[in-house]
């Protein structure tokens, strides 16, 4: 199943990141660029780095200049994340381009790649909740509470994985069809963001 394949790559990326556990470490993608595995690994690496950016920017003692630099990095990371989702959807569009769509076929509320995006974030939640559920310096109450949350996350993974695999099966059999709208991020565009447009003049 594709969801299991993707989750395994996400987990591999998360484990590799935490060997050094620094947001500025270089990424070494172990998969060839022409494989979807390369996109999945890159996607999760972006998510993992951004997860830790979000931790850093919540430091109550962070100085404003450092916070601004970090905010810019988060913005760039969000754009990279969106780009990767679109690349993954392009992979599925190409894969299923010759499918005969049934007359009664329907469109899904989200594309396959956006559902896979949620699975990548869910992998991060599971990893970090497992850490908290077994943290030696935490109280027993904390560990128990986190273990309960972890069980919910695992159930969510099961449900989301099933939904992703069902969606891909429906697309492959023509019961559903893909229609991808490119993300129209207005605030990064000098023509669409009035502040950027004004500063450019």
194 is a domain residue: no
Angle at 145 between CA 144 and CA 150, to 5 degrees: 95
Q: Is residue 21 one of the residues assigned to a domain?
A: yes
pLDDT for res 180? 80
| pLDDT for residue 175 | 97
96 domain residue, yes or no: yes
Angle at 51 between CA 71 and CA 130, to 5 degrees: 160
Bridge partners, residue 177, by sequence: 107
Residue 188: the pLDDT is 63
Residue 143 lies in a domain: yes
pLDDT value, residue 196: 62
CA–CA dist 114, 89 (Å, integer): 8
Q: Is residue 153 part of a domain?
A: yes
Residue 117 lies in a domain: yes
Answer positive or negative: Cα dihedral of 166, 170, 173, 179: negative
In a domain, 157, yes or no: yes
**Nearest-CA neighbor of 88 among 48, 39, 153?**
39
Residue 63: half-sphere exposure toward Cβ, Cα within 13 Å: 2
Q: How many domains does the chain have?
A: 1
pTM above 0.85, yes or no: yes
Whole domain around residue 86: which residue ranges? 2-189
Residue 195 belongs to some domain of the structure: no
Q: Quick one: which H or E segment has residue 130?
A: helix 112-133
Mean pLDDT per 10-residue section of the chain, whose length is 201 residues:
98 98 96 97 98 94 94 93 94 96 94 97 98 96 97 98 98 94 66 66 62
Q: DSSP code of 176? A: E
């Amino acid at each position: 199943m594709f969801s299991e394949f993707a989750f395994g790559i996400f987990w591999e990326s998360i484990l590799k990141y935490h060997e050094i556990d620094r947001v500025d470490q270089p990424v070494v993608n172990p998969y060839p660029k022409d494989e979807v595995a390369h996109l999945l690994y890159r996607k999760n690496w972006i998510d993992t780095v951004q997860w830790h950016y979000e931790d850093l920017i919540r430091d109550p003692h962070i100085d404003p200049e450092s916070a601004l630099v970090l905010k810019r990095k988060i913005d760039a990371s969000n754009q990279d994340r969106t780009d990767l989702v679109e690349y993954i959807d392009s992979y599925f569009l190409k894969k299923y381009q010759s499918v005969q769509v049934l007359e009664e076929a329907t469109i899904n509320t989200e594309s396959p790649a956006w559902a896979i995006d949620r699975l990548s974030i869910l992998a991060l939640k599971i990893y970090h909740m497992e850490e908290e559920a077994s943290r030696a310096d935490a109280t027993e109450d904390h560990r128990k509470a986190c273990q309960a949350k972890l069980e919910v996350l695992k159930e969510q993974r099961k449900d989301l994985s099933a939904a992703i695999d069902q969606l891909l099966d429906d697309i492959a059999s023509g019961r559903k069809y893909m229609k991808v709208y490119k993300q129209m991020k207005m605030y990064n565009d000098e023509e669409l963001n009035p502040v950027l447009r004004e500063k450019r003049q």
